[in-house]
Structures are given as structure tokens and as C-alpha cells.
Structure 1
Amino acid sequence: MTSTDLFLTLFNHKNKNLDELKWPGEGTFEVVLGAILVQNTNWKNVEKALTNLKNAGKDSLNGICSLENSELATLIKPSGFYNTKAKRLKTLCLAIKNEFESFENFKENASREWLISVKGVGAETCDAILAYACGKPYMVVDAYALRIMAYFDYIFESYDEAAEWFSSLDYDEIYKILDSEKFDEVEILKLYHALILEFCKENFKGKILSQNGQKILSSIKN
């Protein structure tokens, strides 16, 4: 099985249209907030925290930087682990402001090497920000992606090894079903991540794959 095989199988069995698979707030500062807040929680809790930040007028780079950690922790409390997340978010935002001055400049010029060096930013969070906030070609490998691969008995030694496997797509094959003018490498990798998320939410219960899920993947299971 190749990564392209998996992509095409998931694409051919998707139940949502392409617009429904987009990440909320793509290209905006909200992605940075969400990437930190979603750690160890679900998106509904993140939305509550984001609403608190918006209502307080603090859902911007300067807004976060102006808050004391305790104030920020109170606003993001619905996301859980709020003291830790407040520290991580404040550290990241101050680093962005000090290095790039503005979010727009960060979007254009941030590198993976720089971002992953910021305390509290792991590989998955880093790649989510680069892909969905900055529009750079990085594949986000989350627990759902690894769950699918575990079903195929694929074990990766590191996050980077997994990301390399998922990113090794045959674009000539993919462009047989997608418009190359609408889907560049960045958009395809984001779509891939979304297809994995949709499939796992619909077909996995814990680590157990449903019969429907097994049927979908049977054509590419060696």
C-alpha cells in the first residue's frame, strides 16, 4: 500500500463535499489559537474558549500578548489544561511578535525550524499552524492518521518518518480526480488530513474499526 492508495480510497468513499472538509478559519490567526487550544480536548471545547477570547476582544496576536497568563487562562478555561495552554499560547505569541512583529509577516516568513523551536510547540501543532495558518505544504499527522496505519500494522519510529510517508503522494494520479488549478500541494495535503479525520470519526470506535471501515480499506490491505 502506498500513501496515494490510501488518499484515493478515502477520497472515493468520502461523505462530505470538499467545502465541508475545510479547517475553520484557514489562513487566520484563529488557527494559531486553535492549534494550541485543541491539545488533549475536542473542538467543541475549543470553540467555547475562542468565543471567550472574541468576546473579550483578545483574539489577535496583540490581544494575547497584552494579557497576563492568569487572565488568559480564565478566558480559555473551557479548553481544559488552561494554565499550561495559557503559558504555551503566550510564549508562542510573544515569540511571533518579537521575531516577526505581525501575524501577516509570520505567515509569509515562518519556517518549520523556527516554529518547532518555540517551547510548547510539538511537531503536530507546528505542522497544523504551517499548513492551515501559513498555507505551507506540510502534512499534519495526528492520532487518527496513526490509528489507520496501525490497522495496516504500519509502525513509524518518529513523527517525521510518518509525515514523510503520508506526504509521498503521486500527484499525477491525484490530478486524475482533482483539478490542478484548484488543488496545489498545500490544498491536497490539507484535504488528505481532512479525509483521514472524517473516515476515523465515522468508522473507528476507540481502536476498533467498524465493518464498514474494514470494507472500505480492504481493497488496499495487503
Structure 2
Amino acid sequence: MNSISNSYELLKFLKEQNLLEDEPINWWPNDNDFEIFLGSILTQNTKWTNVEKSLENLRNLDLLSLENLIEVDNEILINAITPSGFKNQKSLRIKQICKNIIEDFEYFEIFCKNVSRQWLLAQKGIGPETADAIMCYACKQDYMVVDKYSAKLLSRFGYEFESYEELQEWLVYGINENYDKISKLYGYEISLNRIYCRFHGKIVEYMKQNPKG
């Protein structure tokens, strides 16, 4: 494996692999912001295929709104999200964050435009990775998601990081410092949010295809 000195070079390496040709432009398999929001919570400690089953159940029950999730009987919600695991815990956390969004923002659309990462991290059950996934994919804000794949891939290049924040800072710095080069790499003006979406997606897809380095 080639050596890299920054995250721009990592992005360039991943782009050469043609990883997202059959994927949505922002990589996340769903373009409904509310489903992305729920999916970011449901995907904790489970596979995305299980989350898709839960989202389909919620869709069939007409539960894809803040109000409906708050008002639904807890047993119905628990049964709907059972495929995602930790059903009791996740049901309570989903209900609570939906209540808090209405209290603090009134509408989900206003939440997406105005929520801060700090607000999300203050919610029970929302850690850095989930918060950044919501900020990046649902709210379309400029946040880079870091996950276990990111750490594993960079360890193959000889990089080790002590925290989520340290790894995230390394990934973000190289992108921001080389933004002009990235636009030339893609051949068109590309938003920072979309770069982060696709960069994270490329990391995940590469690691899925190359589980052993």
C-alpha cells in the first residue's frame, strides 16, 4: 500500500478505486432527511440491513414524523425497530429526542437548519459518530463522520490516533487545506459537505471490499 502524508492524498487514493459508481451521490442509501436522522440512531451496534427493516416497519406504520413517534404506543415502536437491536433502549431515546426537537426547534426542518453538534451530544444516547452522521447526512452541514473503518484504514498506513476527535481533525485538516485541489480532482465545484459525505462513503466501501489489509 502506498504511503500518504495527509487526508487529501487518502481521498485521492480512494477516488482511484472507483468505489461509489453505483451509490447515491451523497453515498447514504436514503435521501429522506428524517429517515437519515432515525437511521443514524438505529444503526448503532447493528448492520445497516437491519436498520432498513426497521425503517420499512416505521414507514408502513406511518411513524416517520416527530409527532407520530412521540404519540405512538411504546410497544408498537419497540416492535417496529426490533430488527435494529437494543429495541427498548433505542425506542426510549428516539421518543425523547423527538420531544426535545419539538420543544427546542418546533419543526424537523428548523432543527436541520439550526441544530448544533453540541445540542446533539447533549441528548441521551447520541455520541460523536451519531451526532456527526446526523449533522453531515441529514442536516447537510460540514461535518466529517469518523467510524471504526476510518481508524482501521489509517492504521494500515501507519497512523494511530488516541481519540475520535484527533482522527477527525486529521481527516478534516487535509481536506480543508487542499480544497482547491479537490475541486480539480473532481472536475467541478463540489461542496465541502458532499466531499465529507463521499469521503466517508469511500472509506466504508473500501474497507468492506478489503477487510484484510
TM-score, normalization: structure 2? 0.91
User: Deviation of residue 160 (structure 1)?
Assistant: 1.2
- Using the alignment, how far apart are the partners of 2:19 and 2:74 within structure 1? 42
**Relative to structure 2, which stretch is displaced further, 152-161 or 188-197?**
152-161
Tell me, in whole angstroms, the C-alpha distance in 2 between the residues paired with 1:117 and 1:171. Answer: 31
How big is the shift at 1:87? Answer: 1.6
Q: Which residue is 2:167 aligned to? A: 162
2:179 is equivalent to residue 171 of structure 1: yes
Distance in 1 (CA, whole Å) between partners of 2:106 and 2:19 is 41
Q: Is the 8 A contact 1:27 1:134 kept in 2?
A: no
Gap change, CA 1:180 and 1:117, over 3 Å in 2:
farther
1:27/1:135 contact within 8 Å kept? no
State the partner residue of 2:8.
4
**Which of these residues, 189, 203, 215, is aligned with residue 196 of structure 2?**
189
Q: Does 1:131 align with 2:136?
A: yes
Q: 1:134-149 alignment to 2 at 5 Å?
A: 134-149=139-154
**Alignment-derived partner of residue 210 in structure 2:** 203
Of stretches 21-30 and 98-107 in structure 1, the one that deviates more from structure 2 is 21-30
Query: What amino acid sits opposite 2:207 in the alignment?
Result: C
Cα contact 1:14–1:199 (8 A) shared by 2? no
**Root mean square deviation, CA, Å:** 1.5
* 8 Å CA contact retained: 1:112, 1:130: yes
Distance in 2 (CA, whole Å) between partners of 1:179 and 1:112 is 31
More off after superposition, 78-87 vs 149-158: 149-158
Query: Given the alignment, which residue of 90, 97, 105 partners 2:102?
Result: 97
Corresponding residue for 1:116?
121
What does residue 46 of structure 2 align with?
41
Secondary structure of 2:64 counterpart: coil
Selected match of 2:158 from 153, 157, 177: 153
What residue ranges of structure 1 are gaps of 5+ in the alignment? 210-222
CA drift at 1:60: 1.4
Equivalent pair of 2:23/2:29 in contact (CA under 8 Å): no
Helix, strand or coil: the match of 1:177?
helix
By how many angstroms is 1:90 displaced? 1.4
SS of 1:176 mapped into structure 2: helix
Q: Deviations over 1:104-148 (max 9, x none)?
A: 000110011111111110000000000001000000001111110
Mean CA deviation greater in 43-52 or 65-74: 65-74
Q: TM-score, normalised by structure 1?
A: 0.87
For 1:93 and 1:50, the matched residues in 2 are separated by 16
> How far apart, in 1, do the equivalents of 2:71 and 2:157 lie?
47
Pairs aligned (count):
205
CA offset at residue 180 of structure 1? 4.1
Matches within 5 A, 1:64-83: 64-83=69-88
C-alpha deviation, 1:153, in angstroms: 3.0
